[in-house]
Amino acid sequence: MSDVHAQTVSYVRETMLPEAEPPVTERGAIKWLRENLFSSWLNAILTILSLFVIYYVLSHTLGWMLYGIWDAGSLTECRQIRNELYGEDASVACWAVLADRWDQLLFGFYPQDLYWRPVAALLVFFVAVSPILFEGVPRKLFYLTAAAPFICFWLIWGGTIWGPIVVALGFVIAGAIFRYGAEMVGPLLAIIGAFLVPILYWLLLAGPLTGMLNSIAPIGMQYVSSDEIGGFMLAFIIGITGIILSFPLGILLALGRQSDLFIINKTCVTFIEVIRGVPLIVWLFTASLLLNYFLPPGTNFDLLLRVIIMVTFFASAYMAEVIRGGLAALPRGQYEGADSLGLNYWQSMQLIILPQALKISIPGIVNTFIGLFKDTTLVVFVGLSDPIGFSNLIRATTDWNGIYWELFIFIGLCFFICCFSMSKYSQFLERKLRTEHR
Amino acid sequence: MKKSVLLGTLAIAGLAAGFASAQTLDEVQARGSLNCGVTTGLVGFAAPNASGEWEGFDVGLCRAVAAAVFGDATAVNFVPTTGQTRFTALASGEVDMLARNTTWTFSRDVDLRFEFVGINYYDGQGFMVPRELGVASAMELDGATVCIQTGTTTELNLADFFSSNGMSYEPVPIETNAEAQQQYLAGACDVYTTDASGLAATRATFEDPSAHVVLPEIISKEPLGPLVRHGDNEWGDIVRWTLNALIAAEELGITSANVAELASGTDNPEINRLLGTEGELGGMLGLSSDWAQNAIAAVGNYGQLFEDNIGESTPIGLSRGLNAQWTDGGLLYSPPFR
């Protein structure tokens, strides 16, 4: 019967044809180009225009950057080398300024033989934040996280080791009162005690205690004053301290603003509105100029410390509003659910409200962090030698006067790397915490 | 009520500041170092070198004062101050003296309550133009666009000069000298005006300095000098006479090279008095008798300081001009050490 079939439907093909390539316009790079770059006349024109702009920019900058001169002692020397290599008219970068002033751009006036200390402090910082940032890291590292601020402080400023230890002891005292005081004298007294006792201890006892311990066992390193800190080290110190301190402060302010307690509520609202309503540069000038008149003369209140406090306050006001947005986004049922479980205020905040509110606020929080980090360059106006300040100082030497773009490109690149990594991490965190069923 | 509290606080703060400022020398000696306010970088006058040590003409004066007080020219904390923060830093006691090429004016001396103790550089405002414009005199600048640093005395001088000569101009406000260089080179303005020393320093960094001319007119007096707080005359005397010692040293032929030799005694009684081998001049200031010797040994005399930092052997290449000794036709004239 098989031949019958063959005779009756002779046009039916029995074998499979080999797969043919799609038409040239429907595959590979050409397809991608047609779809993405030349899908219509308008898009084609825009594409060609953009290509021209990109070419124009790169043709003027790429050669300038790549042929740049790395090995020279001054701008004049750079120009001589350029004349020998490329001729008089060539326009090339003089990166030699970075090589020559690398140490200063990174560390400022910090003593050269002590550069390992800030580097070690940065390493300690990274190890200490790793358990906060990533889940896979051993939990025991949290002990280091608690100790890290004091270790970093000691590494950067040096001096006697007892200073940071005595200050840290204050926190231990506060923790102990908070933990055990509740059973002995009641929760309210314990909270008040946990605030008051350490403050009294720091004001009255800490100084003499440090002196006494130091005279018993003088352990310490060479002291480095804040004036000697500069360059990116300064930007990092202000930025990191500001970020770490403004986050908890911002949470407290946000909770305070939502609180029903009249005084706390109004204090927080006033703080946030006043700090946020005035430009940061005004606060920096206040810190550097106005405070000097009001403090008793001879008080050695570090300018760097004043600036850090102002930057922290400023960032925490913004942070408070960002987190308040997260709190407001939570449905009322979450608060009521927490209450119905019998949790008290702090438990419900810690276990139910804040984890969700903070997750919602991640983009805003990181936005504030990035803004804060970049704002550290404003300290140049109060005479601190941050990277921008140092670019002015470097330009003020006869060797490098007249150099401009190279320094700014380098500084911009460093800031970009830092801010971009923060942004990338926040995206990673958002993906990891995405629990909605979308 | 609130206002009176604020005023009261201000008055107390002011009183306390005035009280404290009476013992600057004691404070400096107790601290072991001099806090000297300098610029946040000005070519030739103050800038850190590659190893982080401050150098420059103004810096030299700070070092001389430190050498006079401590015998150690390195016992100085240099505090960079901006145009906005300099006076507050001095008034509040954050720095003991300012050597920050600050123009001595009536209102700064009287109204702001500072004490200018002398003049270490006689400057004046000038103009720089590209040679191709073919301008030979500032009188030909009618209608020009002018790059000008905001918030300085130069801005006011410029307005005075143009209006008194019946000319018009279009200002291009800029913040820093570095920005001015870029704007001027990019052609954003026809003219750049600032102190003549600054113009020379800026021009020296150009690819082709000969393509730009500094016009002959100097339109203002800019006597730059160190200043201290009002009311502490003992400290003011120390800074004033350290500056005078450097100037007198040049007149008397004392250099950092021969100061040690001359300090062992000479036939010239004025040199002897200055270097402390005769008389008690150091003791009157509250310093050791070899104060001037230390200052000169540390930074050299005025002429050496000038030549090392801004003189004709440096890229800035300023000539002495008004800053020559009075014996050479300049304005430097130290009162006698007697």
C-beta atoms of A392 and B178 within 8 A: yes
What residues of chain A have any CB closer than 8 angstroms to a CB in chain B? 75-76, 79, 100-101, 103-104, 108-109, 112, 225, 227, 285, 288-289, 292-294, 296-298, 303, 380-383, 385, 389, 392-399, 401-402, 404
pLDDT at B22: 55
Report the mean per-residue pLDDT for chain B.
88
Is a pLDDT exceeding 50 seen at residue B18? no
Residue A370 to chain B, least CA–CA distance (Å): 26
Size of the A and B interface in Cβ pairs below 8 Å: 113
| pLDDT tops 60 at residue B274 | yes
C-alpha span between A381 and A296 (Å, rounded): 24
Q: Where are the domains of chain A?
A: 24-62, 102-110+225-433, 159-221
pLDDT of residue A3: 53
Residue in A104, A288, A398 closest to B315 by CB: A398
Q: What is the mean pLDDT of residues B256-284?
A: 91
Which CATH entry fits the domain spanning B124-221: 3.40.50.10490, 3.30.1450.10, 3.40.190.10, 3.90.400.10?
A: 3.40.190.10
Burial zone of A177 (CB within 10 Å; 0-12 exposed, 13-18 middle, 19+ buried): buried
Average pLDDT over residues B307-326: 90
The amino acid present at A212, given as its one-letter code, is M
Tens digit of pLDDT for each residue in B88-146? 889 888 899 999 988 898 989 999 999 999 999 999 999 999 999 999 898 999 999 99
B17 in reach of chain A (CB within 8 A): yes
Write the residue in B21, B48, B79 that is nearest to A393 by C-beta: B48
CATH number for B25-120+225-328: choose from 3.90.1010.10, 3.40.190.10, 3.30.70.100, 3.90.380.10.
Answer: 3.40.190.10
Question: Closest approach of chain B CAs to the CA of A74, in angstroms?
Answer: 11
CA atoms of A143 and A128, how far apart (whole Å): 9
Quote the pLDDT of residue B20.
46
Do the chains contact at B20 and A389, CB–CB below 8 Å? no
**Alpha-carbon separation of residue A307 from A121, A203, A287, A380, B94 (angstroms):** 20, 21, 6, 11, 15
DSSP H helical ranges for chain B: 2-21, 24-31, 57-70, 86-91, 106-110, 153-164, 177-185, 196-204, 233-252, 259-262, 269-275, 281-285, 291-299, 302-309
B4 at interface of A, judged by CB pairs closer than 8 A: no
B74-94 CB burial, b ≥16 within 10 A, e <16: ebbbbbbbbbebbbbbbbbbb
Q: Residue ranges of the domains in chain B?
A: 25-120+225-328, 124-221
The CATH T-level fold of domain A102-110+225-433 is: MetI-like fold (1.10.3720)
The reply to whether B124-221 shares the fold of B25-120+225-328 is: yes
pLDDT of residue B182: 85
Å between B29 CA and nearest CA of chain A: 14
Give the closest of A109, A288, A392 to B176, CB-based: A392
Verify whether the Cβ–Cβ distance B52 to A397 is below 8 Å: no
Contact at CB, A109 and B48, closer than 8 angstroms = yes
pLDDT at B104: 92
Name the stretches of chain A with pLDDT < 50: 1
Q: What is the mean pLDDT of residues B261-273?
A: 91
> Measured between beta carbons, which residues in chain B are less than 8 angstroms from residue A288?
85, 88
C-alpha span between A339 and A301 (Å, rounded): 46
Question: Which residue from B16, B39, B316 is facing A398, i.e. has the nearest CB?
Answer: B316
Write the ipTM: 0.80
Which pLDDT belongs to residue A4?
A: 54
| Whether the predicted pLDDT of B181 surpasses 80 | yes
3-state secondary structure of B60: helix
Q: List the single best residue of B5, B27, B40 to mutate versus A (max A Cβ within 10 A).
A: B40
Q: Which residues contact A313 (CB under 8 A, 6 or more apart)?
A: A246, A249, A271, A275, A283
Contact B44 A398 (CB under 8 A): yes
Pairwise CB contact (< 8 Å): A297 & B92: yes
CB-CB neighbors (< 8 A) of B204 in chain A? 398, 401
Contact B204/A at CB under 8 A: yes
Q: How far apart are CA B157 and CA B108, in angstroms?
A: 16
Chain A environment of B83 (Cβ under 8 Å) = none
Please give the pLDDT value at position A227: 84
**Per-residue confidence band for B261, with pLDDT thresholds at 50, 70 and 90:** very high
pLDDT at B2: 42
What is d(CA A414, CA A418) in angstroms, rounded to the nearest whole number? 6
Cβ-based contacts of A108 with chain B (< 8 Å): 52
C-alpha distance from B269 to closest chain A C-alpha (Å)? 40
Torsion of CA B174, B178, B179, B184, to 10 degrees: 90
Do A404 and B51 count as a contact with CB atoms less than 8 A apart?
no
